[in-house]
Amino acid sequence: MRRQWWRFATFFGDEGLNDIASLDPNYDGTLLGRFGGERPPAAAWFEEAIAHEPERSFFEVDGAQIELLTWGEVGKPGLLFLHGNAAHADWWSFIAPQFAGDFRCAAISWSGMGRSGWRDRYAIPIFAKEVEAAIKTAELGASGRAPVIVAHSFGGFPTLHVASFHPEIISGAILVDSAPPKSEGGPPPRLAQGRAHNPRYPTIESALRRFRFLPEQDKGMPEIIDWMARGALHEVPETEDAPGGWTWRFDPQFWQHFERGDLGPSPKVPIGLIVGGKSALFPTGRLEELQAIVEDLRFTTVVAEAYHHVLVDHPLELIEAIREGLPKLA
């Protein structure tokens, strides 16, 4: 029986602490404000991971420059890491290096996000083209085997499109806390309307103080949050309609220019699921619904104490879950 995926039609906002409020007497209600613009102390494993710097480049898809990060040797099995909405490729910069010894790894920033170019129109099929181009540009299939995609949140939706309509270019996919929406709808009105530009802040400290995640959570590692926030910001000069300062890289009119569409039939490649046991995206019964419509489900891993942004609050458990899951997709 051919099953149809739910139509994409919901909002996943700005992607992403150990209980900060109870552990830190300087907690001020924001994720990073108490650090005063300084980088938080970091775990040794995290410092080692980000020291393994990727090769950075760009490729073009339908007129937009797409940011590409790569690690590892060409000719090894390929892994492509895909981030969620309003995030960027460096969300994976402390995860992908853990696999670079055995795999050729890559991560991209979707158009409209990170350092990638913006478009007049966004759609899941366009993002799927970015996936296909990333696989080719990064030579992720040079081993003779199609690569595996690891996708968080919104990143799972183009992945499902590829798995349904172009299954020959991947050999499997791991969806990390990514669930196709069940009904039509859209982003909150304030986001759907868009705005001329993102808010601008006079200092990087004031900008970092404003960083947050949706779904909101106050669990995770401060050094990871700081890393993600800094990667989401850039300094811009004053213009006729806006002051200079620090602002977010993502397109503020993304949702206004996003066209919803069908994700396609059931994926035609092996699928693995990793979900946060406390994720707002997986209330009671939701995981079972998703499992029921995946025809070739190879594994499900629940990270019991994790929230939606598993990369932030349980990164080491996520790494282990991916490592254990990859052989099951073969």
Whole-number pLDDT of residue 8: 29
Q: Is the pTM of this model over 0.75?
A: yes
Domain assignment present for residue 101? The answer is yes
**Residue 324: what are its φ and ψ, rounded to 5°?**
-75, -30
Q: Can you give the pLDDT at residue 214?
A: 86
Query: Looking at residue 79, what is its pLDDT?
Result: 99
Burial of 294-316, coded b for 16+ CB within 10 Å and e otherwise, reads beeebbbbbbeebbbbbbbbbbe
Is 220 a member of any domain?
Answer: yes
Structure confidence at residue 22 (pLDDT)? 37
Provide the residue range defining the domain that includes 136: 20-329
pLDDT for 19 equals 38
Rounded to whole angstroms, the Cα distance separating 211 from 248 reads 9
Would you state the pLDDT for residue 293?
86
Q: What is the 3-state secondary structure (H, E, C) of 111-162?
A: CCCCCCCCCCCEEHHHHHHHHHHHHHHCCCCCCCCCCEEEEEHHHHHHHHHH
Amino acid at 64: A
Secondary structure of 204-267 in HEC code, one letter for each residue: HHHHHHCCCCCCCCCCCCHHHHHHHHHHCEEEECCCCCCCCEEEECCCCCCHHHEECCCCCECC
The ranges of the chain with pLDDT < 70 are 1-28, 181-196
- Helix (H) or strand (E) holding 173, with range, is strand 172-176
In a domain, 1, yes or no: no
**pLDDT of the residue at 191:** 55
Please give the Cα distance from 38 to 218 (Å, whole number).
19
How far is it, in rounded angstroms, from Cα 238 to Cα 260? Answer: 34
Query: What burial class does residue 123 get, using C-beta atoms within 10 Å of its C-beta: 0-12 exposed, 13-18 middle, 19+ buried?
Result: middle
| CATH at 98 | 3.40.50.1820
**10 falls within a domain:** no
11 assigned to some structural domain: no
- Comparing C-alpha atoms, which of 179, 162, 177 is closest to residue 10? 179
Give the number of domains in the chain.
1
Residue among 126, 95, 130 at smallest CA distance from 109: 130
Residues near 148 by Cβ (< 8 Å), separated by ≥ 6? Answer: 77, 78, 79, 80, 170, 171, 172, 173, 174, 326, 329
Query: Residue 315: which H helix or E strand, with range?
Result: helix 315-325
63 within domain boundaries: yes
How confident is the model at residue 242, as a pLDDT? 81
| HSE, side-chain direction, 13 A CA sphere, residue 39 | 11
DSSP symbols for 37-67: TSPPP--HHHHHHHHSPPEEEEEEETTEEEE
Cα–Cα distance list, 174 to 96, 160, 208 (Å): 14, 10, 31
Query: What number of residues does the chain have?
Result: 330
pLDDT digits (tens, 9 = 90+) for 138-191: 999 999 999 999 999 999 999 999 999 999 999 999 999 998 765 444 555 555
Give the whole-angstrom CA distance, residue 129 versus residue 162.
9
Contacts of 144 (CB under 8 A, 6+ apart): none
For residue 90, being part of any structural domain is answered with yes
Angle, helices 222-231/44-51, rounded to nearest 10 degrees: 30
The verdict on residue 14 lying in a domain is no
CA distance 180 to 124: 12
Give yes or no for a cis peptide into 215 (omega within 30° of 0). yes
